[in-house]
Amino acid sequence: MGSQSNNGISYSTSEPNLCANNCGFYGTPDKGNFCSKCYKQLCLQVQPSAIDSLLCPSAPPALLDEVKPSSSVEQSPPCAAGPSKPKNRCGHCNRKVGLTGFLCKCGTLFCGVHRYPEKHECTYDFRAAGREAISKENPTVKGEKLQRF
């Protein structure tokens, strides 16, 4: 009888398992009977070896140690500018739009005044896009002609 019942709720009274690494702490079954510290170390040891096997599965590990980058190759310094900021100005009047900018189908950001295609001379062909969308959604179905007697 490994469980007790109390008002319809059963509790397991099994003894806690010690860590499989014999470190003195208690392990959990979902981590393979390892404690949290040993499980973390095990995961860190397994991940680098898995990455190495994925990168170069055919090359033996001895060859990977021998390959070293040459000192004659110049490395470029990191970019001083960093990542470019997203454009947050109107494409027509160059006004700051902030969070209220409208992205048109032509790919340009516009303010509230120039958000409509007729206000900024949009180059996107809405009619052709509409025709194409309708033709994809509603394909023409032609049935066989009936033969008359």
98-137, what's its fold?
A: Zf-an1 domain (4.10.1110)
Paired strand residues for 89: 96
At the second CATH level, the architecture of 14-63 is: Up-down Bundle (1.20)
Rounded alpha-carbon distances, angstroms, from residue 125 to 32, 91, 106, 109, 138: 60, 18, 9, 17, 20
Task: Return the domain boundaries, the chain.
Answer: 14-63, 98-137
For residue 40, give the nearest of 55, 27, 53 by alpha carbon.
27
Q: Residue 30: what pLDDT?
A: 85
Reported as a single tens digit per residue, the pLDDT across 8-66 is 565 555 677 888 888 888 888 888 888 888 988 888 887 766 555 554 555 455 544 55
| pTM across the whole model | 0.36
- What is the token pair recorded at 134? 């309708």
